[in-house]
């Protein structure tokens, strides 16, 4: 009953084709004009409308501005959440203090609560703070990531205490220990966590859709969804170009940092 290698490999190749086919299709369609996009049978080779589509997209949404919004929010959110997770994870892993278990359990328990519960109160809070339509309204709620704290605690647990104590003997303060001992050793985990955080931040949709009300403040997914949602006068080449612009950088990043991507996205799963 042994399945021979070749048929199985072919099946896997076909499935992989189904998985990456849409990306090929996206990249080719993004270079076609509307007539080509809706030709029958579908045109499977690149067209000549690359610049046209890019220009139209830029005219419609202000591409540089939107990309800047997405990049700024994702970068600040990633770095902030990374720092918060590192500090908290370090506290949980390397110190014993009153309430350690209780606090940890409370933090983690919100992982089961759907984000939707927080939408209305967050909306009202941001209105009150006058932060609507401001990067801060999107960045702030994403800085405390229970999963990140959990991951850092797990990773730091395996760090030998002697290493930290040696540095403390030499008179280093905790922040110095953290920066010069913990961070260098934890670099792979930090890299994996940053990828996880950045990807989540780059792709987040519901909350930015609510919090960023003016077109100039929109992130890429929000701008694309509103462009896509406009029934009249829709330039399909521009929409597909925008989708490619939001997708391709992540693809390239993924191909370069595949180890960090996979371990970052799987970190919770294999530890459970």
Applying the rule CB under 8 A, the residues between 203 and 222 that interact with other proteins are 203, 205-206, 210, 221-222
* Residue (120 or 216) nearer to other proteins, CB: 120
Site for other proteins in 215-254 (CB under 8 A): 221-222, 224-225, 228-229, 236, 239-240, 243, 246-247, 250-251, 254
For 36-100, give the DSSP string: HHT-SSPP-S--S-HHHHHHHHHHHH-HHHHHHHHHHHHHHHHHHHHHHHHHHHHHHHH---TTH
Report helix, strand or coil for 50.
helix
Binder to other proteins among 48, 51, 117, 188 (CB under 8 A)? 117
Binder to other proteins among 72, 125, 131, 159 (CB under 8 A)? 125
Alpha carbon dihedral 61, 67, 147, 175, in 10-degree steps, equals -140
Closest to 53 (Cα-Cα) out of 179, 236, 255: 236
Tell me: does residue 149 bind other proteins (CB under 8 A): yes
Tell me: does residue 262 bind other proteins (CB under 8 A): yes
Minimum separation from the CB atom of position 204 to other proteins (A)? 8
Kindly indicate which of the ranges 54-62, 138-146, 159-167, 182-190 contains the residues binding other proteins, using the contact rule CB under 8 A.
138-146
Closest to 90 (Cα-Cα) out of 14, 182, 172, 24: 182
Tell me: does residue 12 bind other proteins (CB under 8 A): yes
Tell me: does residue 130 bind other proteins (CB under 8 A): no
Tell me: does residue 131 bind other proteins (CB under 8 A): no
* Residue (42 or 68) nearer to other proteins, CB: 42
Report helix, strand or coil for 170.
coil
CB under 8 A, 24+ apart: contacts of 129-134 = 132/211, 132/213, 133/211, 133/212, 133/213, 133/214, 133/217, 134/217
Site for other proteins in 51-80 (CB under 8 A): none
* Residue (4 or 187) nearer to other proteins, CB: 4
Site for other proteins in 171-210 (CB under 8 A): 174, 199, 202-203, 205-206, 210
Q: What angle do CA 145, 151, 154 make, to 5 degrees?
A: 145
């Amino acid at each position: 009953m042994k399945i021979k290698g070749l048929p199985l490999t072919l099946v896997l190749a076909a499935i992989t084709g189904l998985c990456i086919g849409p990306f090929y299709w996206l990249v080719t369609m993004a270079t076609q004009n509307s007539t080509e996009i809706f030709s029958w049978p579908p045109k499977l080779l690149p067209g000549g409308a690359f610049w046209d589509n890019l220009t139209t997209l830029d005219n419609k949404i202000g591409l540089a501005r939107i990309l800047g919004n997405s990049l700024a929010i994702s970068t600040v959110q990633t770095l902030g959440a990374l720092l918060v997770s590192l500090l908290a994870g370090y506290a949980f892993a390397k110190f014993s203090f009153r309430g350690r278990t209780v606090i940890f359990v409370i933090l983690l328990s919100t992982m089961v609560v759907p984000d939707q519960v927080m939408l209305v109160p967050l909306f009202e809070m941001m209105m009150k703070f006058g932060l609507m339509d401001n990067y801060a309204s999107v960045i702030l709620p994403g800085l405390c990531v229970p999963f990140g704290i959990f991951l850092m605690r797990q990773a730091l647990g395996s760090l030998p205490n002697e290493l930290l104590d040696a540095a403390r003997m030499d008179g280093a303060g905790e922040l110095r220990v953290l920066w010069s001992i913990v961070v260098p050793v934890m670099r792979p985990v930090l890299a994996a966590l940053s990828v996880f955080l950045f990807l989540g931040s780059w792709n987040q949709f519901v909350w930015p859709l609510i919090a960023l009300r003016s077109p100039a403040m929109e992130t890429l997914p929000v701008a694309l969804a509103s462009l896509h949602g406009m029934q009249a006068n829709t330039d399909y080449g521009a929409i597909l170009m925008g989708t490619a612009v939001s997708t391709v950088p992540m693809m390239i990043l993924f191909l370069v940092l595949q180890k960090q991507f996979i371990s970052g996205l799987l970190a919770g799963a294999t530890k459970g």
